[in-house]
Chains A and B, each alone.
Chain A
Amino acid sequence: MSFDPYAIRNDFPILERTNRGKPLVYLDTAASAQKPRAVIDAISEFYESHYANIHRGVYELSERATRMHDDAREKVAAFLGAAESREIVFTRNATESINLVAASWGRQNLGAGDEILITTLEHHANIVPWQLLCEEKNAHLRVVPINDAGELDMDAFESLLSDRTRLVAASHVSNALGTINPVREIISIAHERGIPVLLDGAQAVPRFAVDVQELGCDFYVFSGHKLYGPSGVGILYGRAELLESMPVYQSGGDMIETVSFEKSTFKSAPYKFEAGTPDIAGAIGLGAAIQYLSGLGMDEIERHEMELTAYGTKLLEAIPEVRLIGTAAKKTGVLSFVVDGIHPHDLGTILDMEGIAIRAGHHCAQPLMERFDVPATARASLGLYNIPEDLDHLGEGLHKAIEMFR
């Protein structure tokens, strides 16, 4: 079966809806992806036919729910190429996954004077947890600069690594610019010096196949809702020996082995990091999303979005008033731009009236906006269901806005 985005659109009920009375043109997948029928149905079916709490009941229903939850973990492990499913921790989202690593691994391994190296391209989720950890430990946050195209300065990266660097935390794909970072190079240089690497894959896993073993990263995080799955579920991948060595994060029910008022003992990874009843349906919905994406083929999705990115880039470059922010040689899925004389929020409102959903703002990347000396950008981001006509609509909307503000 060849990849046909026009047919695929029928899998997404929301694409039949309107926005301000116009057919919906959804160009905000980097903020959150729409959900295929397969995911919606899997969640409904679970609640209608299989729901019970997991890891508790002795009855069939609970056993079934537990099996389905375990099965979702297996699917995530296979999707990421993890060696074992115990390397997959369910969290709420990528943000919580990073917070887990900062609170657990970070508190254990960071001391006064140590350094954590991040990049200018990071989402606030991959800045603030490290900043707070550094404040707590009297450690230092170092930041890899970028060039005007929005690409990492790899010479600077190498020179910023020191014998005090304890962790490199970098995005796989930039949420604000779409830059695909040279993560293999980052990992190989960091590992030569024995420094572990965490990758924020929130914008990468929906766009191309990711294999954590092949990459060799130590931690990898992403959010379910950006992978066409439900909101409320996220993933932390950690190499088994790292997860085993880490202290517990949140504590309470389900993650314990024994509890007395004097002392409690804990389960092994991943369960020791999953306190309380998790988002069971969310995990199952995520499993369904992965199954759906695997059916389409991640390589096909990658090719489709690369083509659309190139199409959109050309279309925007042809409008003289438009300036693209982020022109990396390797980028995908994101078109960030500013328009002369029109603030991104006004653009967002004008496009909204045309049925077009884009993001306008700082994209949770304020330091990056500062780097490009803009208060905000407009961002059109692509998903597997987008078609060239969506971008044509964007172009027409921009012309209208430019005309109106002339």
Chain B
Amino acid sequence: MDDLRELYQTTILDHNKKPRNFRVPDSANHEADGFNPLCGDKVTVYVQVKDGEVSDVGFQGSGCAISTASASMMTEAIKGKPVADALALFDSFHELVTSPALDEPDAEGVGKLTVFAGVREFPMRVKCATLAWHTLKSALEDSDETAKTE
């Protein structure tokens, strides 16, 4: 069960049960849809960008605990951050969930998001963890295409 607890940390289970910012911000000026065709996870990310900063962010959708918690914690992590920092955080997060398991996760860079380090042990679940982030990127880039994790 140790690997399992490593994957389903209490924080992740909590965010799955009570997702934060699970709403459509009235003032959103960017949005995008994300879809994981493999498992049917769907997410829509809404962002309000003001003066180059993510001033508000919310999401809607349905998915597994990993993808729901990832979306929820992403909204908390990027709120109030400059857009460039939010995108840079995606890069760090991506590395966290895909880099070889032996390396110590870089807690400095991703903060609370280190709870997702366990995903590295489950290659099939990496897409669950990154779906919301791919979608965020699409939203910030105003892409009309549905974000995919492929």
> Hey, which bits of chain A sit against chain B, CB under 8 A?
20, 341-346, 349-350, 353, 360-362, 366, 369, 375-376, 400, 404-405
Contacts and interface: CB of A to CB of B under 8 A. Distances in A.
B40 A362 contact: yes
A346 B62 contact: no
Nearest to A375: B40
A345 B63 CA distance: 9
A400 B4 CA distance: 11
A348 to B, nearest CB: 9
B4 A353 contact: yes
B63 A343 contact: yes
Contact of B39 (A20, A350, A353, A361): A361
A175 B64 CA distance: 23
A343 B64 contact: yes
A85 to B, nearest CB: 40
Most-contacted residue by chain A among B8, B63, B64 (CB, 10 A): B64
Contact of A361 (B7, B40, B125): B40
Contacts of A362: 39-40
Given A353-B3, A375-B62, A345 B8 contact: no
B4 A345 contact: no
A301 to B, nearest CB: 31
Given A345-B128, A369-B40, A404-B13, A350 B4 contact: yes
Contacts of A20: 3
Interface residues of B, number: 23
B39 A360 contact: yes
Given A349-B124, A404-B4, 6 more contacts: A344-B39, A349-B7, A375-B63, A376-B39, A376-B40, A404-B8
B102 interface: no
A4 B67 CA distance: 43
Interface in B97-139: 122, 124-125, 128
Contacts of A400: 1
A20 B6 CA distance: 15
Contact of A346 (B3, B17, B40, B66): B66
7 contacts: A344-B64, A369-B40, A375-B39, A375-B40, A375-B41, A375-B42, A375-B62
Given A345-B128, A362-B40, A405 B13 contact: yes
B40 A405 contact: no
B77 interface: no
